[in-house]
Chains A and B, each alone.
Chain A
Amino acid sequence: MDWRALGVSLWLGFGTVLVLVPFGLWLGHTLASRQFRGKGLLEALVAVPLVLPPTVLGFYLLVAFGARSPLGEAFEAIAGQALAFSFPGLLLASAVASLPFAVQPIQRGFEAIPVEVREAAACCGMPPWRRFARIEVPLAWPGILTAVVLTFAHTLGEFGVILMVGGNIPGETRTLSIAIYDRMQAFDDRGAGLMAAVLLAVALLALTLTTVLGRRVGPRRG
């Protein structure tokens, strides 16, 4: 059992949730409540990591992170280390790969709020930020919760993108899913099996949690 890999995976999971959920709240809310030119394209862009091979995503991210790219250069100038094959780079890559898992449930959550309820909030004199905090977020809560759990679970399960931009560095970018692959190649079936079981348990727990919490939150609506 590679405890460091488990640590990296958990940190990556929490980090991705913390980066992505606030962003998902903003983007999901915008997509759910506004009509604008190019909205269809934006929604497609958000969904694209769902259908894109991780290698395609990994390739583009690696090119974007590379020491010769503007992003990579800027990061190296500030942090003194390359973005590719580093934890921050991995976090960014994982945020991109998990984007649909955060944005879509949140968007659906906001969309499920009847238009009149939002309008009623405006007619109650609540300014936009207060409508958001007091009315929309509480009502979209099941969607937000789903986004948190799915983002975390998906980040833990992500393999291809992480393999490509992370580079399998122990304690930094070697996540549990990569460690399993690594252990397999080292003919350490016992280690691989143990870690696979841990990931399976985490995934099951996460999905059970969403179902149960979703049910508990559910009856409050309507």
Chain B
Amino acid sequence: MQIWIAAAVMVASFAAGAGAPPQRAPIVAAAADLNPALAEIAAAFLRDERQRVELVFGSSGLLTRQLHDGAPFELFLSADESFVEQLADAGLTRDSGALYGIGRIVLFAPHGSPLKPEDGFDGLARLLDTGRMTRFAIANPEHAPYGRAAEAALRARGLWDRLQPRFVLGENAAQAAQFATTGNAVGGIIAYSLALSPALKPRGTYWLVPDTEHPPLGQRMVLLRRAGPVAERFYHYLQEPAARAILKQYGFTIPK
């Protein structure tokens, strides 16, 4: 009998917990390429403003889908501009948002890989010729902007079709980076911001793909309709010098 009472109490407490609007930190959803950079900015925000934000990372496409399905995010940092436009068109955002940076991609290879990034795409082509190409990691172009940029650059160099059977697709930029660095692939095209992160930097070498090789990765952020004052403040903080310095340090080009 006591078990049933305990069950009833717990179910009731769950329901009550769902009912009361929680006084908690706003949730910021961000593209996976921001993983180390945004964590650093959030730490700085906590230090400077004594305000806390929760960070959720994923591919911009997945996060957009979750926002359509009612995810309780207050601020969304996309790795491109189209997803923000899409949300704005659906009426979920406050406005059209702001550009917080322009992303870059790199050709990355872990130490000991037959791929030598410093040779650029020519090195990649040569490796394909030798037949020593095993797996090559990129983010899934379907919903990850860094995957799209990689696709554009590879197509421009005529390598896309030849690499097709070799691809291993990360669900987002961070997973692609993980695939590219753990030695299971010869390397991959990953976000510059991740290549510069303390976790990846010691793992391999990279070559910065010229920004002429792919359409610019305009990184747009936007406040959702439900955004509260803390999220709003963080949105502005991201456009202030302290945050911009961190973004720059992670390889983002800061828009004027």
Taking Cβ atoms with an 8 Å cutoff, the residues of A that contact B are 14-15, 18-19, 22, 62, 65-67, 72, 75-76, 78-88, 91, 167-171, 182, 184-188
Q: Interface with A: B66-74, B96-104, B148-156, B234-242, which one?
A: B66-74
Q: How far is the CB of B187 from chain A (nearest CB, A)?
A: 16
Question: Contacting A86 at CB < 8 Å: which of B4, B18, B197?
Answer: B18
Q: How far is the CB of A53 from chain B (nearest CB, A)?
A: 15
| Residues B18 and A79 in contact, CB atoms below 8 Å apart | yes
Q: How far is the CB of B90 from chain A (nearest CB, A)?
A: 11
The verdict on A79 contacting B19 (CB below 8 Å), with A84-B70, A169-B27, A171-B24 known, is yes
| Residues B69 and A187 in contact, CB atoms below 8 Å apart | no
Main secondary structure of the interface of B (DSSP, over half): helix
Quick one: which of B1-25 are within 8 Å of A by CB?
A: 4, 6-7, 10-11, 14-15, 17-19, 21, 24
Docked complex Cα distance between A107 and B197 (Å):
53
| Residues A185 and B70 in contact, CB atoms below 8 Å apart | no
Chain B interface: which size bin?
Answer: 35 or more
Docked complex Cα distance between A203 and B19 (Å):
32
B57 contacts the other chain (Cβ, under 8 Å)? yes
| Residues B11 and A84 in contact, CB atoms below 8 Å apart | no
Q: How far is the CB of A14 from chain B (nearest CB, A)?
A: 7
B200 contacts the other chain (Cβ, under 8 Å)? yes
Chain A residue nearest in CB terms to B1:
A133
Question: What are 15 A-B contacts defined by CB distance under 8 Å?
Answer: A18-B7, A80-B21, A81-B21, A82-B70, A84-B69, A87-B17, A88-B14, A169-B27, A170-B55, A185-B35, A185-B172, A186-B36, A186-B57, A187-B178, A187-B197
Question: Contacting A22 at CB < 8 Å: which of B7, B21, B27, B32?
Answer: B7
The verdict on A188 contacting B199 (CB below 8 Å), with A14-B10, A22-B7, A81-B21 known, is yes
**B19 proximity list for chain A (CB < 8 A):** 78-80
**A14 proximity list for chain B (CB < 8 A):** 10
| Residues A187 and B199 in contact, CB atoms below 8 Å apart | yes
B54 contacts the other chain (Cβ, under 8 Å)? yes
Docked complex Cα distance between A184 and B175 (Å):
8
B77 contacts the other chain (Cβ, under 8 Å)? no
Chain B residue nearest in CB terms to A85:
B71
| Residues B199 and A186 in contact, CB atoms below 8 Å apart | yes
Q: How far is the CB of A138 from chain B (nearest CB, A)?
A: 14
B56 contacts the other chain (Cβ, under 8 Å)? yes
**B188 proximity list for chain A (CB < 8 A):** none
B174 contacts the other chain (Cβ, under 8 Å)? yes
**B15 proximity list for chain A (CB < 8 A):** 79, 88
The verdict on A169 contacting B54 (CB below 8 Å), with A82-B72, A85-B66, A186-B174 known, is yes
